[in-house]
Structure 1
């Protein structure tokens, strides 16, 4: 049975809503969770563990993308969870650092400022209105930049490959074999 345009449209809407909800829950948690601990070496260990957790989450999501009936929608959902989680990890660390060691940045960071700074570093825009001043802050920002390159390059390539594999697997099983139409050609 070939999927109709209505069903396909509903799936796209549901996937988009799940993606938005996932991102909203993560950002809401960032703003409501108590972040009153001091910045310590354990904070860095937690950050590294969080990055490892994001990598594991991405690897699980990549496997799920290849199995999904609409791999491109599943990839969108994967990004809507992984990217905000990754960014929020750094925002939390920068926020805690500024609270524990005022002057680590060119201005005091609120949660919004920490998130803004994290996103400007991630996007390589680097407006310059907030800069890392302490050696520790500069080291962390440098680390974020290095991981950003990996995340953008490697993870993006893996996600695209997973979508392609998912489409190929659908094509190999024949059009409509599992209620799907032919693989997306665009």
Structure 2
């Protein structure tokens, strides 16, 4: 029985890892294939805002799924591998459309890879300085991303990890875990 249990755990782990990698790959490929040749304007900003609302709803749904999951830690990993790339791609697409349609918004033209790179440097707060927003619109969007980054890193991550703890407690049949103590 022990051997069969080990294989079950490995299959479950592999399934979560494949779904996580698949989500990252699909979201990234979607960004590179998406028709982003429309102009920059109110529709682009509205799409970004609606995307951020969808991201928030996805995070809430994921938190609930984590609390009910058989393996809450693995489900939390899968949630992060879906939500964070989606969040980053929303901003990357917006920066790409802005750079393509409002010349001078950045200190150099951005292709999709450059837009993703810029988004990652802002998210990681490393700011290499090789690409910078130079227009007021670009700076407003970057400021919006920095604020949203703080929410993603702080609130959303805390909520997902909190849901993971609830799921672990539910599975263990206890109301508190030793690491819950101050």
When the two structures are superposed, what TM-score results if normalisation uses the length of structure 1? 0.90
When the two structures are superposed, what TM-score results if normalisation uses the length of structure 2? 0.92
| Structure 1 residue 163 corresponds to structure 2 residue 164 | yes
Q: Which runs of 4+ in 1 moved over 3 A?
A: none
| Structure 1 residue 5: Cα displacement | 2.1
Between structures 1 and 2, the one with greater helix share: 2
Aligned length: 175
Q: Distance in 1 between matches of 2:156 and 2:6?
A: 31
Counterpart for residue 141 of structure 1: 142
1:103 counterpart SS class:
coil
What pairs with 1:120-139 in structure 2 (closer than 5 Å)? 120-139=121-140
Q: Distance in 1 between matches of 2:43 and 2:19?
A: 33
Q: Distance in 2 between matches of 1:18 and 1:51?
A: 22
What pairs with 1:77-92 in structure 2 (closer than 5 Å)? 77-92=78-93
| Structure 1 residue 38 corresponds to structure 2 residue 39 | yes
| Structure 1 residue 47 corresponds to structure 2 residue 56 | no
RMSD: 1.7
Q: Distance in 1 between matches of 2:138 and 2:34?
A: 23
Counterpart for residue 66 of structure 1: 67
Unmatched tracts of structure 2, length 5 or more = none
Q: Distance in 1 between matches of 2:36 and 2:44?
A: 11
Unmatched tracts of structure 1, length 5 or more = 174-182
| Structure 1 residue 8: Cα displacement | 1.0
